[in-house]
Homo-oligomer: A and B are copies of this chain.
């Protein structure tokens, strides 16, 4: 029985020739205990940013098809370099581009979706005893045009390839030692979780946990591919993302996430008629502006306030859309605020445990933090707060829910 493993190394893990040599050492250790290893790599360090900057020195509005060809160079550099480092250690290895690895995508340049992985070449090279090093983040259309997968692209490449070749697991190597109970840069006592469900990881990632992109988690969930997130720089065990293992024994709250690059807008006194909110978010969709949290309260006197959060970088564009829309909706006006943040409590146990909400609000109140908006899902509570208070908010929530976490659930 052949056992394949896919490993993905992010940009900070391959930022220099020395670090690439360390990754090769790690891959070698895996190869010794495993039939076949596929390694997916990101661009070295700041390479992608530098390429974007080159393009913007030439034009403010680079065509996205050419941008993809340009950006693909980043991973096309790392993959052969790691392969050389493996060869230098006597490990048989071969580098493949996304195209060569069979990553077929839509033609939506800069944010292409993987439509299929045709792993013939990858399986062939594994059968020849090669470690296969694949350039992440990139794929190709039917017509062989190069595409890139957008944010989280290399994670997505890795999980998709793992599914396509029937790997036993997909390991994501990064600069932190797993999925933490909160951002360890903010909360020194935050600890890595031993495991987490796909669903919880999706919610955490959606509300600010940067460790793994939601797209990769989604593919893992759909195909039941276990994803292990661990550090490229130490030997700690990492966090396993997999099917919810033992629901009854779970902790209520698994992690606290936060986001600071958030803005908020409110449409004031919107007439409570069908179609108005649809028109607003339709216009946002057309302008390619993603809205995160939407809150609309019950209507009094025939009007209501509609609030929503969005990425701070989209605020300027969104204000233009809203300013144009307000007179046509009969709203009395709008408010915009860039100076906010979100803090979220995530965990399967929140469902059916109203005490969690009460404890959260109590903790925030105790820290003197005013809650501007509240949004909940089955497994998540998100509060919008003043940006200056977000660190206090994360600390207060982590202290209440996670400081005394059962050691069985930690690394």
The residues of B that contact A88 with a CB separation of less than 8 Å are 58-59, 61
Q: Which residues of A29-50 are within 8 A (CB) of B?
A: none
CA distance A97 to B83 in the complex (A): 22
Is A95's CB under 8 angstroms from B79's CB? no
The residues of B that contact A97 with a CB separation of less than 8 Å are 69, 146
CA distance A62 to B70 in the complex (A): 24
Name 9 interchain pairs, CB-CB below 8 A, sorted by A.
A17-B58, A51-B77, A55-B80, A62-B87, A66-B83, A69-B79, A69-B95, A69-B97, A70-B76
A99 within 8 A of B: yes
Is B73's CB under 8 angstroms from A73's CB? yes
Chain A 82-98: CB-based contact to B (< 8 A → 1; otherwise 0): 01110110000011010
Q: Shortest beta-carbon distance, A39 to chain B, in Å? A: 13
Q: Shortest beta-carbon distance, A304 to chain B, in Å? A: 45
Number of chain A interface residues as a range: 35 or more
CA distance A338 to B100 in the complex (A): 45
The residues of B that contact A83 with a CB separation of less than 8 Å are 63, 66
A54 within 8 A of B: yes
Q: Closest residue to A85 on the B side, CB-wise?
A: B58
Q: Shortest beta-carbon distance, A68 to chain B, in Å? A: 8
Is A80's CB under 8 angstroms from B69's CB? yes
Q: Shortest beta-carbon distance, A64 to chain B, in Å? A: 10
Is B72's CB under 8 angstroms from A59's CB? no
Q: Which residues of A192-231 are within 8 A (CB) of B?
A: none
Q: Shortest beta-carbon distance, A42 to chain B, in Å? A: 14
CA distance A51 to B67 in the complex (A): 21
Q: Which residues of A92-143 are within 8 A (CB) of B?
A: 94-95, 97, 99-100
Q: Please classify the interface of chain A as helix (H, G, I), strand (E, B), loop, or mixed, using the class held by over half of its residues.
A: helix
Task: Give the contacting residue for A100; candidates B66, B77, B87, B144; CB below 8 A.
Answer: B144
A297 within 8 A of B: no
CA distance A97 to B145 in the complex (A): 9
A81 within 8 A of B: yes
Task: Give the contacting residue for A77; candidates B73, B87, B95; CB below 8 A.
Answer: B73
The residues of B that contact A145 with a CB separation of less than 8 Å are 100
Chain A 313-350: CB-based contact to B (< 8 A → 1; otherwise 0): 00000000000000000000000000000000000000
Q: Shortest beta-carbon distance, A103 to chain B, in Å? A: 13
Is B65's CB under 8 angstroms from A94's CB? yes
Q: Closest residue to A59 on the B side, CB-wise?
A: B88
CA distance A228 to B145 in the complex (A): 32
A20 within 8 A of B: yes
A249 within 8 A of B: no
A377 within 8 A of B: no
Chain A 139-183: CB-based contact to B (< 8 A → 1; otherwise 0): 000001110000000000000000000000000000000000000
Is B99's CB under 8 angstroms from A84's CB? no
Q: A67-B80, A73-B76, A80-B67 are in contact. Are A99 and B62 (CB under 8 A)?
A: no
Task: Give the contacting residue for A58; candidates B21, B51, B69, B79; CB below 8 A.
Answer: B21
The residues of B that contact A58 with a CB separation of less than 8 Å are 17, 20-21, 81, 84-85, 88
